[in-house]
Structure 1
Amino acid sequence: MGSKVPGLARLTALAVAAGLAVAACGATEPEGGTAVGDPAQPVSLTFWSWVPNIQKAVDAFNASHPGIKVKLETITPGPDGGYAKMLAGVKAGNAPDVAQVGYDSLPSFLVNGALQDITEYAGDDAAKFVDWQWQTGVFGGKVYAIPQASGPMGFYYRKDLFDKWGIEAPKTWDDFAAAAKTIQAKDKKAYISTFAANQAPWMIALAQQAGQQWFGTEGDSWKVTIDNPDTRRMAAFWQKLLDDKLVKTEADMSNAWYKDLQTGAITGWIGGSWGDAIIRGNAPDTAGKWAVAPMPQWPGAAKTVSASWGGGSASAVLKGTKNAAAATEFAVWLNSAPESVNILLSAGYGWPSVKDTSQIPNLRKDDTVFPFYGGQNIWDVFKEADAAVTLDWRWPPVSDALYASLTDNAKAAVQGEGTLTDAFARTQQAMVEQMKAKGLSVTAGG
């Protein structure tokens, strides 16, 4: 969730050390454009996003803003998909005007000079949004992105099968392990979950909930503490489940995983709030059989603690747009207008960034989502989960390298090359080396 990152001045200093182009991420005046537009000659914008069915919200914007016409292009999420195309587009001068970028990747986009300063157009909109989410797009007092949604974690599970086997939704991780054993005893082909070594944001969310953060700053230096006691405890827990063959090791959001959701071979998933649309869209015949519970808790926690998958997403205005004002108007409307937020909630875009949710009827009565989950208002679970996310988590300005290193090391561990604990230790070493190679001042801790 809300990643507190060093301010622009600190990131700029670190960028200088890394030999990056500082001028691109400094405070610059936005380029022209009009927020109103002329219906006879509307401003044309391009928007890149991976949210399912977001076209409905774009259509609603176009219908209510005749002076601005937005064209949606669907992209693949993440560093190896849309992000690479965005950064290449900025360099080539043909990037989209607005693009969906994860909160975790905004610092990387900033130091790569890919974000447009939109303070002039968005400065008065801060009050519309949850503060921590708004701050993910603010660096050095300048606004570069409009928050879209967070991804608070919950436990999706097949309530019909849990009821059949006499299992309650696990309240603690010990309960989770016990339920995993019971499921295997009842049906050798069924598992409580998969360990998704392909999903770095998922593994990071597990670590975030476990306790100690991974990245911090001391002066103008970064401190990397991935290999810490809380993360090691979490890794050892999942390693035991793997050793005992109580969880699957297939990649989530793969064809095999979707089939397992459909057949009941996978009976649970710890996923973000937007994950409800993933399950609904890929296992439609299981409608009415699912429920959602809070993320299981570690012992000794003074209060309920949750996490957010990759932090969440923002609508970032990219460097080079010739219509910064119109792009900002679209980004603000998309993520704050009740009509749009209501559409996107059912589309699976995550937990809203808008502060006032009283005008979002789908949070209280959703004829698309609630019936699939046996009539449960699952948003009540995610509202509490969002409020329980730790607020001190920071993302480094090299999140793409973090994701690549963690997935490589975790996949190796799952295949028997060391343990998951080793994987996180190796990731720490790799990140220290990676950040030093970029000229950053960095130390390792634990």
Structure 2
Amino acid sequence: MIKQTETARLPLSRRQILKGIAAAGAAGVAGLPAWGAAAAEVRELIVLTGTTPWLPAYQKAAAAYEAEKGVKITFRPFPYGGMRTQMTNATQSRNAAFDIFQLDEPWTGQFYDNGWIKPIDEIIEGYALDPNILTYDNLPLWDRQQRLGVTGGQVMGLPINGNVDLFVYRKDIYDKLGLQAPRTWDEAIENGKKAVEAGEVRYGYVTRGQPTTGGQSVSYEFMHVLYGFGADWFTVDDGSLVPAINSEAAKAAATTFRRLLELGPSRPQTVGQADCIALMQSGQALQGHFVAAGMPQLEDESRSSVVGKCGYAVVPAGSLGKPVPASGVWSLCVPAGQVPERQRAAAEFIVWMLEKKQQEVFAGAGGIPTRKDIDVSGAGALRPIMEGARDSAPLARGSIRYVFAAQMLEAVEPVIGQIGSGEVEVAAALDGLQAKLAEIAKASGFAK
């Protein structure tokens, strides 16, 4: 059974972040071999990671490894926008700066397809995925021929943080106004309007409307609505991907997403994940949806004015009639170009991190566990968040994971951001995006 720890209340300071970046940038990583060179016995692993809300939980869980195995774990944290660039540069320049990569879900297709990741089941002979590890729509399992994740594929990496979006709402205001927890996005919108009209909050709804580069941001929040309307980016026809983002269902989803953002700050294209968390913490917002890993901050007594006042649930449903969350899972992987000794040491650490004991520590510190057998009953104030993530996992569909995800997101992020901010007309914007996706899929060999 997990127990809540103080780590969930210790986000990284700016000084800590900058210190980590500087350490990684100063003359590379001292003591590591050149790409492909011989390696001595491994006593330290250099782990690329992100300045994510759940990094303290990751560090907490990993802290016992040195005492237990005699191998020091040194984290090199980078802002989200720089992580993929760091890993790509290290790979293409044959610079063995890192022993472990941390891949956001949209990056997996590119890294796996390019052969930049060494499969764990090739490093550790006979390794089989623990059946208690969640696979999130086959995220870790890669088929080289089909160029996608499938049941029975090779184990490429392991999911370390099981992010999905949750719906969070102010229970106290809901009770005061006699509102019911929404089952649909339309009901959430109506509840938001009522709370604003009653003068209880400034904003009726918050979620990310800010586009990003190098990954997914606003498009990820949009996917929880898109999938709930039964829509998707593509359909499959005779083995080819056919863009479907201008379907009637997708247009309805995009219109609903805009209506959600209209209940938030006047310039939604400037609202990022940290802003959503801050608006909920300060009591300015009634409700919203964002990643589960960010929600423990709402229960931080040193920073939040809404401790104990929030409810957490699976995201609402669209016209499909059932909620369909999008997974936003982070995976730990081994760079293909590292020397065998370091690959083996890295793979052993990754497997260790996914064991039940470490996942319990991780969850107790605010991370979202990726195992089915974690008892969250002792998580204290974090228990409803962990239960919401647990209940969402079997409903979740994969987010953008295509081999061409990087090119796709460059097209998708700004358009969804413009739709959310009201800068463009929905149908015309989606028609334009449809054409762009057709070009990208064809250029990557996935469409005729």
* Range of TM-score over shorter length: 0.7 to 0.9
Q: Which residue of 2 aligns with 1:176?
A: 188
Query: Displaced runs of 4+ in structure 1, greater than 6 A?
Result: 31-34
2:168/2:313 contact within 8 Å kept = yes
Q: Which is further off, 325-334 or 49-58?
A: 49-58
Evaluate the alpha carbon distance shift between residue 295 and residue 102 of structure 1 in structure 2; reply closer, same or farther with a 3 A threshold: same
Evaluate the alpha carbon distance shift between residue 108 and residue 75 of structure 1 in structure 2; reply closer, same or farther with a 3 A threshold: same
Unaligned stretches of 5+ residues in structure 1: 1-30, 371-376
CA deviations over 1:380-438 (Å, ceiling 9, x no partner) = 333222122247x76311222332322211233344432344444333322222344x4
What count of residue pairs does the alignment treat as equivalent? Answer: 387
Cα separation, 1, equivalents of 2:277 and 2:142: 39
Unaligned stretches of 5+ residues in structure 2: 1-35, 144-152, 211-216
Q: Which residue of 1 aligns with 2:120?
A: 118
Q: Which residue of 2 aligns with 1:205?
A: 224
Q: Which residue of 2 aligns with 1:22?
A: none
Evaluate the alpha carbon distance shift between residue 345 and residue 216 of structure 1 in structure 2; reply closer, same or farther with a 3 A threshold: farther
2:48/2:102 contact within 8 Å kept = yes
Q: Which residue of 1 aligns with 2:47?
A: 47
1:152/1:306 contact within 8 Å kept = no
Per-residue deviation at 1:74?
A: 1.3
Q: Which residue of 2 aligns with 1:293?
A: 313
Q: Which residue of 2 aligns with 1:10?
A: none
CA deviations over 1:356-389 (Å, ceiling 9, x no partner) = x1xx34x11113524xxxxxx3333332221222
> Helix, strand or coil for the counterpart of 1:442?
coil
User: Which amino acid is 2:87 matched to?
Assistant: M
1:239 to 258, 282, 289: 258
Cα separation, 2, equivalents of 1:428 and 1:409: 11
1:401/1:431 contact within 8 Å kept = no
CA deviations over 1:147-174 (Å, ceiling 9, x no partner) = 2233233211121222222222212222
Q: Which residue of 2 aligns with 1:433?
A: 439
Give the TM-score normalised by the residue count of structure 1.
0.77
Cα separation, 2, equivalents of 1:183 and 1:368: 25
Q: Which residue of 1 aligns with 2:331?
A: 314
Evaluate the alpha carbon distance shift between residue 419 and residue 149 of structure 1 in structure 2; reply closer, same or farther with a 3 A threshold: same
2:207/2:289 contact within 8 Å kept = no
Does the alignment pair 1:324 with 2:343? yes
Does the alignment pair 1:73 with 2:95? no
- What is the 5 A alignment of 1:248-263? 248=265, 249-250=267-268, 251-253=270-272, 256-263=275-282
Cα separation, 2, equivalents of 1:137 and 1:122: 17
Q: Which residue of 2 aligns with 1:13?
A: none
2:107 to 105, 108, 112: 105
Does the alignment pair 1:345 with 2:351? no
CA deviations over 1:289-330 (Å, ceiling 9, x no partner) = 1111231122453xx4331343x1111111212211111111
- What is the 5 A alignment of 1:155-234? 155-187=167-199, 190-198=202-210, 199=217, 200-218=219-237, 221-234=240-253
> Helix, strand or coil for the counterpart of 1:45?
strand
Per-residue deviation at 1:107?
A: 0.6
Give the TM-score normalised by the residue count of structure 2.
0.77
Cα separation, 2, equivalents of 1:149 and 1:225: 30
1:152 to 164, 171, 174: 164
User: Which amino acid is 2:349 matched to?
Assistant: F
User: Which amino acid is 1:58 matched to?
Assistant: A
Cα separation, 2, equivalents of 1:256 and 1:277: 15
Cα separation, 1, equivalents of 2:444 and 2:42: 45
Q: Which residue of 1 aligns with 2:15?
A: none
Cα separation, 2, equivalents of 1:426 and 1:280: 42
Evaluate the alpha carbon distance shift between residue 100 and residue 441 of structure 1 in structure 2; reply closer, same or farther with a 3 A threshold: closer
Cα separation, 1, equivalents of 2:136 and 2:314: 21
User: Which amino acid is 2:312 matched to?
Assistant: V
User: Which amino acid is 1:61 matched to?
Assistant: Y
> Helix, strand or coil for the counterpart of 2:159?
strand
Cα separation, 1, equivalents of 2:258 and 2:189: 11
Q: Which residue of 1 aligns with 2:378?
A: 365
Evaluate the alpha carbon distance shift between residue 135 and residue 263 of structure 1 in structure 2; reply closer, same or farther with a 3 A threshold: closer
CA deviations over 1:168-225 (Å, ceiling 9, x no partner) = 2212222112102201211285222135222222212321232233235556633322
Does the alignment pair 1:275 with 2:294? yes
Cα separation, 2, equivalents of 1:62 and 1:216: 47
Evaluate the alpha carbon distance shift between residue 442 and residue 384 of structure 1 in structure 2; reply closer, same or farther with a 3 A threshold: same
Per-residue deviation at 1:88?
A: 0.6
Q: Which is further off, 411-420 or 165-174?
A: 411-420
2:140 to 133, 137, 140: 137
Cα separation, 2, equivalents of 1:259 and 1:88: 34
1:33/1:326 contact within 8 Å kept = no
Cα separation, 2, equivalents of 1:33 and 1:364: 47
> Helix, strand or coil for the counterpart of 2:118?
coil
1:305/1:390 contact within 8 Å kept = no
2:205/2:264 contact within 8 Å kept = yes
Does the alignment pair 1:82 with 2:83? yes
CA deviations over 1:239-267 (Å, ceiling 9, x no partner) = 3455xx43334344466545422332222
> Helix, strand or coil for the counterpart of 1:407?
helix
2:47/2:100 contact within 8 Å kept = yes
Task: Supply the RMSD in Å over aligned alpha carbons.
Answer: 3.0
Cα separation, 1, equivalents of 2:327 and 2:444: 29
User: Which amino acid is 2:109 matched to?
Assistant: P
User: Which amino acid is 1:246 matched to?
Assistant: L
User: Which amino acid is 2:306 matched to?
Assistant: T
User: Which amino acid is 1:402 matched to?
Assistant: M
